[in-house]
Structure 1
Amino acid sequence: MFEQNSSSSSTMAAESALCSVSRQRERSRPSPAQRLHNLTSASATSSTSTAIPLPQNVFTNPSIQPSSVVNLSHSTDVVIGPMTQYQGPVSIYYMDASMEAHAMQAAAGINSSSNRSRDNSPSKRLNRNTILLITLILLVLATALIVLYVELNRPRSEAANKAIYFGNTYDHDTFPNLGNGHLVIDRIQWGASSNVRPLTVPLRRPIPYVLITHIGVQSIPCSNVYKCSIKMRTIQDAAVAEKILPDIQSNFYVSDEGNIYVGRGWDWANTYANQTLAITFMGDYGRYMPSPKQLEGVQFLLAHAVANHQLEADYKLVAQNQTKTAKSPGVNVFREIRKWPHFYGCGLDDAPACGSELGMTRASWDAKQ
């Protein structure tokens, strides 16, 4: 009985001592940070271990936290704790204060370059380009509105309100305009010679007759200002040198493009008859057809003359072949002008001679002046 009690007492004493030892061991066990410090300290002084510097890329990569790196390879029975000796190959990396600062600077540089790259990203550039484009469009629209406002509020001259007029409205005020694009090319503009004899017979207005002629003799119609100006100078030179006339024959000439070329103009009588306004189609219209612009140009000129009291309101329009034996103004032009409201059928069939009501003789239609 006594032996059993003593045995039980000894067992309890042993268990109590074991618990005490366990508690002491628990209290003496270091924390994880202390164990890592002891591990690195022990590796620095251990003769069986070698301290290998941590590769540079470990510090320059911000995704790796060097303070928590423990690399173990080909090791068994490894215990992380207050141990100073290990069995097997052990590699311990260390990082002092200078290496840690270098790693932080490298990480900061990577973050700043990343921020710069984000600032220059395509989306931001696209946003800037879009803003610039919108600004440019707004400036263009504002300029267009200002120009439109100025044009709408510009004072218009009295001549510009007429359908047919002489006004300097074309090509920076170079050529007067009859309207609808029919230009008036003056003598100085088509290059008329100034070395001619002065005209002596004035043209009295309002004029009662309009005489239509053409150049004839297989003349090709001209279709631009350059070619028609050369043709006008050729006609003038031929009239002065070959026909011994003081100047070009007609008062006005009309080109295929519908422009009006000034011959003797409004002030002086033509070479055909003193009481007529002579208008010549530039070409041979026994062979060629007059263009719609050419016919319209003549009609605009006549309407302008009536509006400005150059012609009588009931003027008579005749062709040259009605006043004398001639092919002028060509069958194609004659066919067209017969449809015009002021056409006068004198000299045809049994009709009286043209100008007889004014006392004009047949010889007066060939004045040669």
Structure 2
Amino acid sequence: MDEDRVSMHSASNNNPFTSAANNALWSLQGHNSGHPVNSSPAALPQNIFTNPAIQPSSVINLSNSSDVVIGPMTQYQGPVTIYQYMDATVEARSMQAGAGINQNRNNVSSSVFQNMSTSSKLLVLLIIVVIIVAAVIIYIEIQQSNKRSEPGPILFGNSYEHGTFPNLGNGHLVIDRDQWGASELAKNLIIPLKHPIPYVLITHIGVQSKPCENVYKCSIKMRTIQDSAIAEKNLPDIQSNFYVGDDGNVYVGRGWDYANTYANNTLSVTFLGDYGRYEPSDKQLEATQYLLTHAVVNKYIELAYKLVAQNQTKSTKSPGANVYRHIKKWQHFYPCGIDDNPKCGVELGMPKVWDAKM
């Protein structure tokens, strides 16, 4: 390698501007002399590189050139992965900025609450307490409504206490006085019934009374009968011991322990309706038989009790021709007072057995 080329290489390595100037001079020399650009630089004057008065310009104009690179260039062979790292200082500043925003929000909220007057604070607290109390009340009501919606057990009992529904069998329920809404004006009854009772007396309401087919309508009818007995007939209570509705349920009148108004020493069972005009339902007839079976089992009536209709004891249409047609076929029917048969109650030695006092 000659001395001029070594000198140019050394200058090129020490100063990038010198390298660019050398390249430009190479290009100019080749263009002016008609030689190729890559011709030997030996023909150039030596003082161009050795004269310190000649300095490269900071502006380089290139024309008709390609693939020109000024400054260092790094080339990689193969795949390259570039990772970007955040300066820890920048990241810390970002975190502090976010914390500052949250802190500002908290400060705003706390400052709003602090700026509220005492009355406003009390109002807010009162509203919160009211909401909590309302939520508790609603929860309790929902729980109680769920409990009320659950059907209670159907109990079989002899006392007919309030809140119980004795089941006589096959779905025939006994509806107590409190359950059908007996009047509080009823007085204490004074004539007791001695058990077992020898006679069962069957009657009906009559007077064109329409049969009731559900608990609601039968309960209304029971209250009407009781009000009439107390207000119009001056009786202490409703007349009969038990009433049977067209719905197949039994409604408690005077119950097992007190005499009815029809006849002493009898248990009266009254059909709720006028059964000279209407037919008794199968449920109504069956409920009556279930009631009497219950009475025998619990020794309220005699095992060989005598079943009679009211029209056998006095001149009346009760219990109605349609009911009478059915009960005279029952096992315990007793034909006293019919045709040549003795009057009812004579065998008891009580000629006034049918005379009721209250």
Q: Distance between the aligned counterparts of 2:341 and 2:310, measured in 1?
A: 15
Q: 1:181 to 1:188 in 2, by over 3 A?
A: same
Partner of 1:266: 256
Deviation, 1:192, is 0.3
How many residue pairs get aligned? The number is 212
Does structure 1 residue 367 correspond to structure 2 residue 350?
Answer: no
Deviation string for 1:218-275 (max 9, x for gaps)? 0010011111111001000001111111110000000001101000001101111110
Letter in 2 for 1:211: L
Alignment match, 2:182: 192
- 1:166 equivalenced with 2:161 (yes/no): no
Flag the 1:351–1:267 CA change in 2: closer, same or farther, 3 A. Answer: same
TM-score by length of 1: 0.54
Structure 2 CA distance, aligned partners of 1:174 and 1:186? 8
The residue number in structure 2 matching 1:216 is 206
| Residue identity opposite 1:285 in structure 2 | Y
Which residue does 1:314 correspond to in 2?
A: 304
Q: Which residue is equivalent to 1:88? A: none
Matched position secondary structure for 1:175 = coil
Match of 1:256 among 238, 246, 261: 246
Task: List, as ranges, runs of 4+ consecutive aligned residues in structure 1 with deviation greater than 6 Å.
Answer: 96-99
> Within the alignment, does 1:181 sit opposite 2:171 as a pair?
yes
CA offset at residue 364 of structure 1? Answer: 4.1
* CA contact 1:206–1:309 (8 Å) conserved in 2: yes
Aligned mates of 1:97, 1:344 — CA distance in 2: 123
Letter in 1 for 2:264: N
The answer as to whether partners of 1:167 and 1:178 remain within 8 angstroms in 2 is no
The 10-residue stretch of structure 1 (259-268 or 192-201) with the greater mean CA deviation from structure 2: 192-201
Aligned to 2:191: 201
Q: CA–CA distance in 1 between the matches of 2:223 and 2:334?
A: 32
Superimposed CA distance per residue, residues 6-55 of structure 1 (whole angstroms, 9 cap, x where no aligned partner): xxxxxxxxxxxxxxxxxxxxxxxxxxxxxxxxxxxxxxxxxxxxxxxxxx
Aligned residue for 1:245, secondary structure, equals coil
Alignment gaps of 5+ in structure 2: 1-76, 81-153
Distance 2:203 2:285 in 1: 13
State the 1:97 CA deviation.
Answer: 7.1
Change (3 A) 1:174 1:203: closer
CA distance in 1, matches of 2:238, 2:274: 17
CA RMSD of aligned residues (A): 2.7
Deviation at 1:175, TM superposition (A): 1.6
> d(CA) in 2 for partners of 1:333 and 1:97?
114
Q: Which amino acid aligns with 1:215?
A: I
Question: 1:292: how far off?
Answer: 0.5
Residues 368/217 of structure 1: CA separation in 2 closer, same or farther (3 Å cut): farther
Inter-partner Cα distance in structure 1 for 2:283 and 2:225:
22
Identify unmatched segments of 5+ residues in structure 1. 1-95, 100-158
**Distance in 2 separating the partners of 1:199 and 1:174:** 23
What residue in structure 1 maps to residue 224 of structure 2? Answer: 234
Q: Which residue of 1 aligns with 2:286?
A: 296
Aligned to 1:244: 234
